[in-house]
Amino acid sequence: MKAAVVLLSGGVDSATTLAIARNEGFHCHAITFDYGQRHRFELESARMVAESMGVERHVTIPFDLRAIGGSALTDDIPVPRDQDPDSMGDQIPVTYVPARNTIFLSFALGWAEVLGAFDLYIGANAIDYSGYPDCRPEYIAAYENMANLATRAGVTGQDRFNIHAPLIEMSKADILRTGTRLGVDYALTTSCYDTAEDGAACGRCDACILRRKGFAEAGIPDPTRYVS
Amino acid sequence: MKAAVVLLSGGVDSATTLAIARNEGFHCHAITFDYGQRHRFELESARMVAESMGVERHVTIPFDLRAIGGSALTDDIPVPRDQDPDSMGDQIPVTYVPARNTIFLSFALGWAEVLGAFDLYIGANAIDYSGYPDCRPEYIAAYENMANLATRAGVTGQDRFNIHAPLIEMSKADILRTGTRLGVDYALTTSCYDTAEDGAACGRCDACILRRKGFAEAGIPDPTRYVS
């Protein structure tokens, strides 16, 4: 059984991606990042999702992107509320974290190289989460090309890294249907950028709006507790 | 005056790279990584080099690559000693840290995007430091391509990131001659992977051997204090 490294944030997309990787026959190693995100609640979700999916190992790498700033998720910039989901992708949102997926994939690549794994899974999504440059198929392809030159594999030519982004062209509703079929317990996941202290989701940030809309479109009950 | 982000480890190569970036007219922002390396002495060297070069800002990002392991620099693997410098490049050394330059460049990319800088400098070197996959020109080119798809620049198409690796084809002696001409104080730098507690360099690891050989070939006195 081959090993894969799966980026796991604790949200809907990465939990579904983990279920897909497992279903494709991989021994899954999950990697989570504690990067100073304001929505720290997701770290506990990631732990619970990893446990519920029976991953081989789950590591959380701490670093602090607040040293760099530049995003509503890591800096003193308000999280937008009550935006129209149909126009969210028209521009790059202030919740975009510069180079975040690139940093995440790079740690995953290093770990994969140590494990002797050549398959990395990322829950990037170009449809619902549009507007993030690092969620586009051409970005994933360029990363894969770079990864194969960055590593021992690039020198020996014996193996090739594959960056899997199975959700990239899926709608949120499709993602939820797929995950439900594969046994994901979405009650363990969290999406909100601005969770209340008691753990309730705000219901008004982009992530909550897309989550709600996705569950509604999929016709699946949303197990999330929302403030409003 | 345009801003650049320069990777600064505290060694000969990155100090010289910083001097080159400054000489090319950039306002330099230096970024250093505290990644659990056994040669922690270099962090203080990086601080001193940054100060002596008058950088705009110097940030040190802590994270822990020991969670991943897989290298003599971050794991319980002995650092090789007394190797023949002419055969060091024949295979990937155990001091190779999986995906290290990729992780470093990714943080630098994120910071550059926040700063509005489009020039990144890395002291990668394909000659003396050969055997590291992520020190080859084809790797740098692939990273640059990926970076321009990963970021806002890739969406708007207004600017392009340039990954400068000015040392990539230089010998250690050429690097030392260039830095000396540009005013680098190499007494502030450190290269050793296995520094003694009093700060003396071991003189026997690959980094010491290449440093000594470089100074000898350049005909420049080596300010380093060696144990042997």
Interface contacts (A, B; CB < 8 Å): 140
Q: CA angle at residue A35 from A34 to A41, to 5 degrees? A: 50
Rounded to two decimals, the pTM is 0.91
Q: What is the DSSP string of A33-47?
A: EE---S-THHHHHHH
Query: Which residue range forms the structural domain that includes residue A54?
Result: 3-218
Contacts with B202 (C-beta within 8 Å, 6 or more apart), sequence order:
B81, B192, B193, B194, B195, B196, B208, B226, B227, B228
Q: Do B92 and A152 touch (CB under 8 A)?
A: yes
**Residue A226 within any structural domain of the chain:** no
- With beta carbons less than 8 A apart as the criterion, state whether A77 and A105 touch: no
3-state DSSP of B86-113:
HHHHHCCCCCCCCCHHHHHHHHHHHHHH
Residues of B with CB under 8 A from a CB of A: 59, 61-65, 67-70, 92, 96-103, 106-107, 109-111, 113-114, 133-134, 136, 138-139, 142-143, 145-147, 149-152, 154-155
**Token digits of residue B214:** 């470089």
Q: What residues of A are in contact with residue B138 (Cβ under 8 Å)?
A: 149
Contacts with A215 (C-beta within 8 Å, 6 or more apart), sequence order:
A173, A176, A221, A222
Average pLDDT over chain B reads 89
Q: Do B145 and A142 touch (CB under 8 A)?
A: yes
pLDDT at B128: 62
Q: How far is CA A3 from CA A26, A146, B45, B104, in A?
A: 5, 21, 39, 25
Tokens 């789950």, located at residue: A58
Question: Could you tell me the CATH number of the domain that includes residue B62?
Answer: 3.40.50.620
- With beta carbons less than 8 A apart as the criterion, state whether B32 and B10 touch: yes
pLDDT at B207: 87
Q: What residues of B are in contact with residue A134 (Cβ under 8 Å)?
A: 149-151
Q: Do B107 and A103 touch (CB under 8 A)?
A: yes
Q: Which of A23, A16, A52 is nearest to A173 (CA)?
A: A16
**Residue B114 within any structural domain of the chain:** yes
Q: Do A142 and B138 touch (CB under 8 A)?
A: no
Q: What residues of B are in contact with residue A34 (Cβ under 8 Å)?
A: none
B69-83 pLDDT, tens per residue?
A: 777 667 676 767 777
Overall domain count for chain B: 1
**Residue A126 within any structural domain of the chain:** yes
Helix, strand, or coil here: A217?
helix
Q: Which of A69, A99, A152 sits opposite B106 (nearest CB)?
A: A99
pLDDT at A33: 93
The 10 Å Cβ neighbour count of residue A219 is: 9
The 10 Å Cβ neighbour count of residue A111 is: 24
Q: Which of B216, B173, B164 is nearest to B17 (CA)?
A: B164
The 10 Å Cβ neighbour count of residue A160 is: 13
Average pLDDT score over residue span B9-16: 96
Q: How far is CA A203 from CA A43, B133, B204, in A?
A: 19, 46, 60
pLDDT in tens, chain A (228 residues): 799 999 999 999 999 999 999 999 999 999 999 988 777 888 999 999 999 999 999 999 988 887 877 776 677 767 777 777 776 656 667 777 788 899 999 999 999 998 999 999 999 998 765 678 888 999 999 999 999 999 888 777 788 999 999 999 999 999 999 999 999 999 999 999 888 888 899 999 888 999 999 999 999 999 999 997
Q: Do A99 and B134 touch (CB under 8 A)?
A: no
Q: How far is CA B1 from CA A150, A196, B4, B24, in A?
A: 32, 44, 10, 10
**Residue A116 within any structural domain of the chain:** yes
- Identify the band that residue B96 occupies on the pLDDT scale cut at 50, 70 and 90: confident
**Residue A225 within any structural domain of the chain:** no
pLDDT at A91: 63
Amino acid at A16: T
**Residue A106 within any structural domain of the chain:** yes
By C-alpha distance, the chain B residue nearest A74 is B114
pLDDT at B89: 59
**Residue B207 within any structural domain of the chain:** yes
Q: Do B113 and A99 touch (CB under 8 A)?
A: yes
Phi-psi region of B212 (alpha: psi -120 to 50; beta: other; left: phi over 0): alpha
Q: Do B64 and A59 touch (CB under 8 A)?
A: no
**Residue B190 within any structural domain of the chain:** yes
B176-222 pLDDT, tens per residue?
A: 999 999 999 999 999 998 888 888 999 998 889 989 999 999 999 99
Q: Do B151 and A133 touch (CB under 8 A)?
A: yes
B126-171 pLDDT, tens per residue?
A: 876 567 888 899 999 999 999 999 988 877 778 899 999 999 999 9
Q: CA angle at residue A143 from A137 to A145, to 5 degrees? A: 105
